[in-house]
Amino acid sequence: MARSSRTTALARLCSECCILHTSLKSRQAAKGGFMSARPAETDQPAKEPRRKGRLHTSTVDALHRMIVTGDLEPGQKLREQELCERLGVSRTPLREALRTLAAQGLVQLTQNRGAEVAPLTLADITALFDVVGSLEALAARLACKAMTDEAIAEIGVLHYRMMLHHVRDELPDYFALNQQIHRAIIEGAQNPVLLGVWEALAARVERAKYLPNLQPNRWKAAMHEHDAMLAALVARDGNELGRLMEAHFHNGLAAILAANGAEAPPETAVDGSA
């Protein structure tokens, strides 16, 4: 990104993020502050179960990140000793983490071959994007009606933090915030059935969504699409946000197909033109 473009983007980021932060702070202050005081903890749970829980979570998160970013490739055999040394854990938490990731569709466990990264074909990606694009479009329409002003402002803050990582070319940090934004809109729809279906696919979709952002032009276009999505959310224009959500997934899929030499449909512009 050119220096002048970076400067302009940073200036816009600082200005708009400050406005959002001030708005959120004033609204929360009127309701008694950002956070209520936490009650004193009278009963301390056993430290060992808590430690084991943290170890499981950190091991799952580390493997999840390695699979999503392509550090562990589709079809790659997951050798226990190598992963234990890499993650600094024993075989038991590693095996428990692999079972969790298998339930999420990221790992395959077989009796003869052991554990390996689940394959991810273009047909898989197409099917996932078609379904989740429609789910998120529905969530967008519902969220525009159901979300509070405070919740929308919080998404705005996430958006401008994400923009900063884009300006700095920090893809992993950008992508983490991107996932938070999509989840916040799904949760903002306040529909438990929709949330349940989305969560069942979330890990596999996250893995597929990471791929197009590896292409600089697509990453820049995706950021532009998120600008338009935020504007529609702030305006509570559910139909427009739903359309933009579907276009966002459509364009991401087109980038993946094109990068793999497959015939891709033309991109959908955020202004509604093809």
Q: Are strands 107-110 and 114-117 parallel, antiparallel or unpaired?
A: antiparallel
C-alpha span between 37 and 4 (Å, rounded): 45
For range 251-269, the mean pLDDT: 75
Could you tell me which of 204, 202, 244, 200 has the C-alpha nearest to residue 224? Answer: 244
Confidence (pLDDT) at 7:
45
pTM equals: 0.74
Instruction: Give φ, ψ of 69 to 5 degrees.
Output: -80, -5
Q: Are 20 and 159 in contact (CB under 8 A)?
A: no
pLDDT digits (tens, 9 = 90+) for 144-186: 999 999 999 999 999 999 999 999 999 999 999 999 999 999 9
pLDDT digits (tens, 9 = 90+) for 184-203: 999 999 999 999 999 999 99
**Cβ neighbours, 10 Å, residue 136:** 26
For residue 77, the cross-strand partners are 116
Q: Percent of the chain scored above 70 by pLDDT? A: 76
